[in-house]
Amino acid sequence: MDHKMSRSPWVIHYDGSSCNGCDIEVLASLTPLFDAERFGVVNTGNPKHADIFLVTGSVNAQNLPVVRQIYNQMLEPKCVVACGICACSGGVFRDAYNVIGGVDRAIPVDVYAPGCAIRPETVIDAIVEACGILDQKETVLRAGGDPLTVGGAATWDGGVELGEDGFVAAGAGTDGAGDAPAGKPAAPAAGDAPVETPAAAKEAE
């Protein structure tokens, strides 16, 4: 019998730094109205049971390690879907001081599913596309190959690494998002002289 994991993909959902619009649409796609379950999709809270990782919202210094940890706990073969434009690129929050960028700044993304908010139909379409990639990865894995040579991981640039201070160094592997926007100071580094504020200057007078 020909077993295919994609016939019954289990998904796990994580909401990053979002407005919750995409978050609720992903949940809607799993409920009876849109009924992703008719394709065999099962929602799980355990990364070790999940085949497809649905991520909504952008990545920041707080949630980047969480996204990476969930991904690393998932077993191969696995797929990642960036749900909504914030997850794809940072969206309207891209230039915010605390936003590093889309999900691919943390982990390799296999399917980019835009929308603001993403529609449940798009979520289901993205899951179906991810199933196709899951099949390819499974075939490679069963043949003794490396599933990371298929899908988003094959061309991933490695994303960003956070320094010990929890900040992203300006320009360190980012696509520009996450750097201090022009006119705003970069995060202070250890050993920097204290920043002089108007209040401190007044006190010194």
98 touching ligand SF4, by CB under 6 A: no
DSSP state of 165: T
151 touching ligand SF4, by CB under 6 A: no
Which stretch, 19-27, 61-69, 132-140, 154-162, contacts ligand SF4 (CB under 6 A)? 19-27
- CA 23 centroid distance within chain: 13
Contact 95, 181 (CB under 8 A): yes
86 touching ligand SF4, by CB under 6 A: yes
x/- mask, ligand SF4, residues 38-67, rule CB under 6 A, reads ------------------xx----------
Using N-to-C axis directions, what is the helix angle for 120-142 and 21-30, rounded to 10°? 70
117 touching ligand SF4, by CB under 6 A: yes
74 touching ligand SF4, by CB under 6 A: no
Which stretch, 17-25, 43-51, 126-134, 141-149, contacts ligand SF4 (CB under 6 A)? 17-25
The site for ligand SF4, by CB under 6 A, has a size of 13
Element (H, E) at 11: strand 10-15
- CA 119 centroid distance within chain: 18
What's the closest the beta carbon of residue 92 comes to ligand SF4, in angstroms? 6
What's the closest the beta carbon of residue 125 comes to ligand SF4, in angstroms? 16
DSSP state of 190: T
Residue with the shortest CB distance to ligand SF4:
21
What's the closest the beta carbon of residue 148 comes to ligand SF4, in angstroms? 28
Q: Considering Cα of 97, then 152, then 107, then 35, what sign does the dihedral take?
A: positive
What's the closest the beta carbon of residue 114 comes to ligand SF4, in angstroms? 8
Contact 61, 100 (CB under 8 A): yes
Contact 55, 30 (CB under 8 A): no
